[in-house]
Structure 1
Amino acid sequence: MININYKRRHTCEVKAGGVTIGGSNPIRLQSMLNVSTMDTGACVEQTLRIVDAGGEIVRLTAQGTREAKNLQEIHDRLRALGCNVPLVADVHFNPKVADEAALHVEKVRINPGNYANNVADMEEKFPRLLQLCKEHGTALRIGVNHGSLNKRMVEKYGDTAEGMTESCLEYLRLCKSHDFDNVVLSVKASNVRVMVQTVRMLCRRMDEEGMDYPLHLGVTEAGEGEDGRIKSAVGIGTLLSDGIGDTIRVSLSEDPAAEIPVARRIVDFITRKSQAPLIDGSCDGLFDPETYTRRPSRRVAQYGGGQVPEILRPGDKIPEGVKELRLTGQNALGQGRMYFQSLKEAGDDSPVVISKEYATTDLEQLQVEASIELGALFLDGFGDGIRIIAPNIPQEKTDSLMAGILQATRCRMSKTEYISCPGCGRTLFDLQGTIAKVKAATSGMPNLKIAVMGCIVNGPGEMADADYGYVGAGIGRVSLYKGRQCVVKNIPETEAVERLLELISD
């Protein structure tokens, strides 16, 4: 079903400490620490800053039993300071670490891509974790990442939305059979289009199997600065606009506390949208929510006919035969979908420029609102041009925003794309400084995708879409990738950017 008006998807309630996720509760905001879990003081300090910024849930990496046990020390220190924010342990590869973490924090995240080696292994180890979570009142997140699907799923389904969905469902079925409902789900990707389609598919499949678990939304490796905000707003905002999502994390390669204000803007915008006047009509069948297909349109000059969408400034003339959809009001997505439904019913294949005017003087607010409203329509397969009119924002910033929306939706690639993770306690090099160096050296290379990843958990997989990759390999050590292949292993961080440029030039 394709929504015209906002209607939140029904989900059951999940309790993580004093915070309830799902049901009619507010959409919860969360972030993740990027310091070592063994550095108790740094973890406490960063957690307090996230909470001060408005964060309601905080995640920490637990790469080993030692780190999992130290979560108790961090937990106790925070409680002594009067901070009761729920803590989440992020666990990969080792089920025993998940078992240990379940004793110390309010929630544990596991990754089906690396939790168990095979079905028998999963069926032996996962119920043990569920029992521990029941005994200790610990919530669970089953968090699937596009970049780390297990080999069995890839061999059966390929590197696809279906593989991600099934990877999640087989764990959910075990939860259901063991009468464990305190579980949240996520299916994430750095490709916004893939992420949105997969979440929609998972919702449909859960409906078919009588499941109503809450969803955690996020775009992995979204990057930093403008690009990170645009990608996150397009992906998260599109799903929230359709009523999907109960907790969100905006993954930025910046200070973790900087993620929360962006997340707050997204949620506040959706809250205002939910109060918009209802639009009459239906557009079921207008497009396939789980597969991208661009709306067919006839060619008029540089518009339509499968050509990349045009970027227009205020005052740019549109040729005869091209229509302009001028979005207004709080429910621009519903208005846009009904407009394209009317064209479909009339058999009108005119190219369409999608436009909206914004009065805001706040650039980040413009990035969030326009990315959600216009980005969602381009993800739906609509639009042969984009025009954002923002008289109170410098034109070059608006131009960059329009290009960013088209790039985030994979409709037009006009600049170097950077896929970069936000970093966590597993990152053993200066991630933010490295991203700045890589950008400075490669920003003039349009149509090139470069990944900068903190570690191997999602690194090689999430950057499979990239042309080149820079992945942390140890303390101050880095490996370089060309596509999926590691071509330079374990070199000093100080040499890595120069070696990356040599690799690209070759």
Structure 2
Amino acid sequence: MEPTTNTLDFRYCDSLTKYVRRKSIPVKIGDVIIGGDNPIVVQSMTTVDTMDTQGSVEQCIRMIESGCELIRITAPSIKEAENLRNIKAELRKRGYNTPLVADIHFTPNAAEIAAGIVEKVRINPGNYADKKKFEVIEYTDESYQEELMRIRERFLPLIKICKENGTAMRIGTNHGSLSDRIMSRYGDTPLGMVESALEFLRICEDENYYDIVISMKSSNTQVMVQAYRLLVQKLDEGGFKPYPLHLGVTEAGEAEDGRIKSAVGIGTLLEDGLGDTVRVSLTEDPEFEAPVARALIERYAYRSSHDMIPEIKTYPLRPFEYSKRISAEVFNFGDHNVPRVITDISRMDRITEKEIKAVGHFYLPELDKWKMNDQGCDFVYTGINPIPFMLPNGMREIQDASVWAHMKDQKNKYPLFTLAEYKVTMNFHPELNFLEINDLQVEEAINSLVGRKDTVLILKTENTHTMPALRRAFVSLLEADCRVPVTVKVSYPDQAADQTMLYAATDVGGLLVDGLGDGIMLSLEKEGFHTRVEVIEQIKLHNSVSFGVLQAARTRMSKTEYISCPSCGRTLFDLQETTAMIRKRTDHLKGVKIGIMGCIVNGPGEMADADYGYVGSGKGKITLYKGKEVMKRSVPSEKAVDELINIIREDGMWIEPESI
């Protein structure tokens, strides 16, 4: 990333250093208001068949009781749209006034019916009045305008009904379902996503209809973040109203991976004050989504009181495209190397081969050798408690400089200095040294690093506005053209595992998606423990989360990635059970991306990033993809996983699982 002198034209938020919520217009959805000065709204989506009225109602109630303030229900055809009336009536009868949102894709007629029943409709401009057949079409300006006029005529009836009924609308662009028309003109880009929404937005504004929320979803966190930022800038440049933003990472997956991936995308935007409503899309029951969204949102309740961060007057980053910061290669950090994982085990005063298992390295006593899994860390930090045995190949030890200075074997251990120690010592490792600083020391550290080619920075902050404070330190390095590799260090007080996942994914992932950072380190220094078992469990969590954050930010692929939708009433099979079954058979395929979609709506388009796809195409029938190409249709579901593996094998990407 070459330093640039980008002006305020590249600002996509009110401030890059001070937490300020973007001021959007308020949009009323029943008794809930999204945007304006109102709190960020939590929402989710049902997974029960929309024609199952009682099942839908019961699931809605579970979602409401878990903290959901807005509920989306799919309406793939007219009959489901009509049944929204029964679901709404039963909820109201049972005392629940939570607003309902109809989710529409290919059926404008269903949207028009739903708009007279529920409080909000969601349309996807990529397939509402458009098409996607993966065709490249050459348009003249005249023929392109003719297409826009066709879309206008198909869209106007819905706007009219929404205005008459006081119904709000979400224009929800998805990265994977951009129409052939948009793809032909703009490509598979954040700009294409933004323009897809703006085309529909212009029609709404021409009709003086403004009750609109906008989303820019993608399963790729880099694309998702870039698209929302670009949307905000284009709204401002185009003289549009500042519409509220619905944040979400689509097809995030399940469990730890799904939470981390959601937080990298959503948290990065929340840090800069963007976002008015949040939906976390997990391949789990929907009542588990709202608590995750709430945990992300609650970090910002008192964020505006954070310590001051020096203002960024010119912005040397490229917020609308990924560009890795240029750094020198020091040992195996920086330059072309993937970001490294440093796992902190310094709170363990007695370390044996058994405990090293927590960081992905396994000692096999019967063979007297070590093995490493896909999440074997690169370095362990031991502080003042050095490891008393020889480490496996592939893992190295970092010690406090005061301990390292007295070690007999200094070659295979590496010192970590404070800035005060670094400035006065004459005893450095010839290849690799670590200098730990906080964000307020960065200018002083830059002066000490002139001419050094043997040092990696460990960068941390005490500022509660963590990600922007660390980003500001990176800006200082960029402005000084200081190319030292940087490992980002974060630490949190005692908290639940979910919070650690979400906070680390936001604080470090938000930097990684902008190309900042050559490593990650989750520290134990603020943690309080009672037992050795607790320490080991926390180390295991930190190690796993570190690799998860790097993978979610698309900077280091260390395991199979599952792009799985969160299920809805359109889903044609048990998505959770199927995802678990596919994961069990394929989770050793490092770096392979597998899309698991419940129906064609979330099919080849929505899994645009996947190498292989497993898509419901009928009751008990699966269509299998390689990229966007159909390989096999109507495969019986009981044979589909085996057939998927055969496709991967024939493609030369299969390896046999190896037991540890």
Identify the TM-score tier after normalising by the shorter chain. over 0.9
| Aligned residue in 2 for 1:6 | 19
Which secondary structure state, in structure 2, belongs to the residue aligned with residue 78 of structure 1? helix
In structure 2, what residue type is equivalent to 1:351?
P
Partner Cα distance (1:271, 1:431) in 2: 35
1:460 is displaced (CA, Å) by 0.2
Aligned CA RMSD, in angstroms, stands at 1.2
Matched, 1:462 2:576: no
Cα offset for 1:283? 5.3
- Pairing 1:223–2:253 present: yes
The answer to whether the aligner puts 1:432 opposite 2:576 as a matched pair is yes
Q: Deviations over 1:273-295 (max 9, x none)?
A: 33322323215322011111111
Q: Which moved more, 1:270-279 or 1:198-207?
A: 270-279
Aligned to 2:175: 146
Partners of 1:84 and 1:178 in 2: how far apart?
30
Alignment of 1:389-468 (within 5 A): 389-390=523-524, 391=527, 393-468=537-612
* Residue matched to 2:439: none
Q: In the alignment, is residue 110 of structure 1 matched against residue 110 of structure 2? A: no
2:352 aligns with none
Which one-letter code corresponds to 1:47 in the other structure?
C
1:130 aligned residue: 159
The structural deviation recorded for 1:423 is: 0.6
Check if 1:33 corresponds to 2:177.
Answer: no
- Correspondence list, 1:59-458, <5 A: 59-117=72-130, 118-211=147-240, 212-282=242-312, 284-314=314-344, 315=381, 316-317=397-398, 319-320=432-433, 321-390=455-524, 391=527, 393-458=537-602
Q: Distance in 2 between matches of 1:298 and 1:283?
A: 26
Of residues 332-341 and 67-76 in structure 1, the stretch that sits farther from structure 2 once superposed is 332-341
Q: Deviations over 1:216-266 (max 9, x none)?
A: 010000000000000101100100111111001000000000000000000
Per-residue deviation, residues 154-207 of structure 1 (Å, max 9, x unmatched): 000111111110000011111111100101001100000000000000100000
Q: Percent identity?
A: 48
When residues 337 and 92 of structure 1 are mapped into structure 2, their CA distance, relative to the original with a 3 A threshold, is same
| Aligned equivalents of 1:329, 1:375: Cα separation in 2 | 17
Question: What amino acid maps onto 2:218 in structure 1?
Answer: A
Question: 2:105 touches 2:601 (CA, 8 Å); kept in 1?
Answer: yes
- Counterpart residue identity of residue 483, structure 2: D
Alpha-carbon distance in structure 1 between the residues aligned to 2:305 and 2:577: 42
Between 1:458-467 and 1:55-64, the stretch displaced more is 458-467
Letter in 1 for 2:227: T
SS of structure 1 residue aligned to 2:478 = helix
Does the 8 Å contact 1:406/1:413 carry over to 2?
Answer: yes
Larger-Rg structure: 2
TM-score by length of 1: 0.98
How big is the shift at 1:329? 3.0
Between the aligned partners of 1:429 and 1:86, the Cα distance in structure 2 is 28
Separation in 1, partners of 2:246, 2:239: 19
Alpha carbons 1:292, 1:381 under 8 Å: kept: yes
Match of 1:43 in 2: 56
Does the 8 Å contact 1:283/1:341 carry over to 2? no
Q: CA separation in 2, counterparts of 1:149 and 1:427? A: 21
| 2:595 alignment partner, SS class | strand
C-alpha separation in 1, matches of 2:521 and 2:245: 33
Give the aligned partner of residue 487 of structure 1: 631
CA distance in 2, matches of 1:405, 1:344: 23
Question: Aligned pair count?
Answer: 506
Cα deviation, residue 459, structure 1: 1.3
277-286 or 87-96: which moved more?
277-286
Q: Distance in 2 between matches of 1:265 and 1:328?
A: 21
Residues 428, 476 of structure 1: 8 Å contact kept: yes
Distance in 2 of aligned mates of 1:285 and 1:327: 20
Higher helix share: 1
Task: Give the distance between the partners of 1:17 and 1:353, measured in 2 at CA.
Answer: 47
Find the counterpart in structure 1 of residue 408 from structure 2.
Answer: none
Instruction: Tell me by how many angstroms 1:45 deviates.
Output: 0.3
Contact 1:60 1:88 in 2 (8 A): yes
| Letter paired with 1:438 | I
CA distance in 1, matches of 2:39, 2:307: 21
Given residue 428 of structure 1, which amino acid in structure 2 is its aligned partner? Answer: L
